[in-house]
């Protein structure tokens, strides 16, 4: 086995099968429980990122003043921002590691589902990755049905005569939750956009444009690539997206979603929360 398999694919496979056996042989429930366990394990790493985001939001007015002050001096702005972050003990890049780790875990889980849990792959192949106490007997089978899904196949519907399949509810909900999480951050992006328009050079404009585009491109990528992923992986991504959106709300409130939900009567609770 290579390093990636030994330190990521194999432990993740064993963790998933452990929950599978503890929870009565239901792979869908096992994925849900396993996903929550991973979030719990990674939460201490994610906490600095959320704290940094909250601090950055509080410091945004001072940062806007610096951008106005150094509107025609890019080098001076960078130096002033670096000094400001040092004085406030803020690291704008704090917490990037856990999100990179999430991507690595996602790639490893993709390998678990495609190489081990795909239709036609026998128990022997799965047992090669399992530790001795978790190995299946030769006559056992892995149950991959959950609700309307076969968790080894993509969550798509195929309409007769249609040139391509359409995404299923699981993928649509995961993409929606990603959009909500990005939209909550919209006020910060809007503030930066106003400053960027007054700042010489294109660096700010490029950064703001990238932030705005990610609001729509990330959910779109989830739909496009998710249509070829096993639905078990989509289930994990749905849970991850939900947790990310919830943490974002806890940090910044409804943010850019406020106009969208004002008719639901939730803004009052946000005001009480932030006050």
Note the pLDDT tens digit of each residue in 91-140. 766 556 656 777 788 788 888 887 777 766 678 888 989 999 999 998 88
Confidence of residue 229 (pLDDT cuts 50, 70, 90): confident
User: Does residue 272 sit within a domain?
Assistant: no
Q: Which domain holds residue 172?
A: 3-262
Identify the H or E element spanning 85: helix 74-88
Confidence of residue 23 (pLDDT cuts 50, 70, 90): very high
**Residue whose token pair is 């495609």:** 114
Percentage of the chain with pLDDT > 90?
19
Distance CA 187, CA 147 (A): 38
Q: What local confidence, expressed as pLDDT, does residue 135 receive? A: 94
Quote the tokens at residue 49: 């990122």
Yes or no: say if 270 and 153 are a contact pair by the CB < 8 Å rule: no
User: Does residue 11 sit within a domain?
Assistant: yes
User: Does residue 75 sit within a domain?
Assistant: yes
pLDDT digits (tens, 9 = 90+) for 139-193: 888 888 999 999 988 999 988 888 888 999 999 998 888 888 777 765 544 544 5
Quote the tokens at residue 157: 């519907």
User: Does residue 273 sit within a domain?
Assistant: no
pTM of the model: 0.75
User: Does residue 194 sit within a domain?
Assistant: yes
Q: What local confidence, expressed as pLDDT, does residue 253 receive? A: 72
User: Does residue 275 sit within a domain?
Assistant: no
Number of domains present in the structure of the chain: 1
Confidence of residue 205 (pLDDT cuts 50, 70, 90): very low
213, pLDDT greater than 70: no
User: Does residue 269 sit within a domain?
Assistant: no
247, pLDDT greater than 90: no
Yes or no: say if 198 and 191 are a contact pair by the CB < 8 Å rule: no
CB crowding 11-33: b at 16 or more within 10 Å, else e = ebbbbbbbbbeebeeebbebbbb
User: Does residue 267 sit within a domain?
Assistant: no
Mean residue pLDDT across the chain = 78
Percentage of the chain with pLDDT > 70?
73
14-18, 177-181, 211-215, 232-236: lowest mean pLDDT where?
A: 211-215
């Amino acid at each position: 086995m290579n390093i990636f398999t030994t330190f990521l694919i194999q432990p993740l496979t064993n963790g998933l099968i452990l929950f599978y056996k503890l929870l009565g042989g239901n792979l869908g429930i096992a994925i849900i429980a396993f996903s929550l366990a991973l979030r719990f394990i990674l939460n201490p790493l994610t906490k600095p990122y959320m704290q940094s985001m909250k601090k950055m939001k509080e410091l945004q007015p001072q940062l806007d003043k610096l951008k106005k002050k150094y509107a025609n001096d890019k080098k001076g702005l960078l130096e002033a921002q670096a000094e400001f972050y040092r004085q406030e003990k803020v690291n704008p890049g704090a917490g990037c590691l856990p999100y990179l780790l999430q991507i690595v875990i996602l790639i490893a889980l993709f390998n678990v589902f495609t190489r081990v849990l795909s239709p036609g792959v026998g128990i022997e192949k799965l047992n090669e990755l399992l530790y001795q106490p978790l190995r299946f007997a030769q006559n056992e089978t892995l149950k991959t049905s959950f609700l309307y899904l076969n968790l080894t196949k993509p969550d798509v519907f195929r309409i007769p005569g249609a040139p391509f399949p359409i995404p299923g509810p699981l993928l649509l909900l995961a993409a929606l939750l990603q959009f909500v999480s990005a939209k909550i951050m919209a006020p910060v992006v809007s503030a930066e956009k106003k400053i960027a328009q007054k700042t010489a050079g294109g660096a700010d404009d490029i950064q703001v444009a990238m932030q705005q585009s990610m609001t729509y491109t990330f959910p779109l990528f989830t739909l496009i690539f998710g249509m070829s992923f096993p639905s078990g992986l989509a289930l994990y991504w749905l849970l991850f997206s939900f947790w990310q959106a919830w943490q974002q709300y806890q940090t910044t409130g409804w943010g850019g979603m406020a106009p969208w939900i004002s008719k639901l009567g939730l803004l009052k609770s946000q005001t009480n929360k932030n006050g």
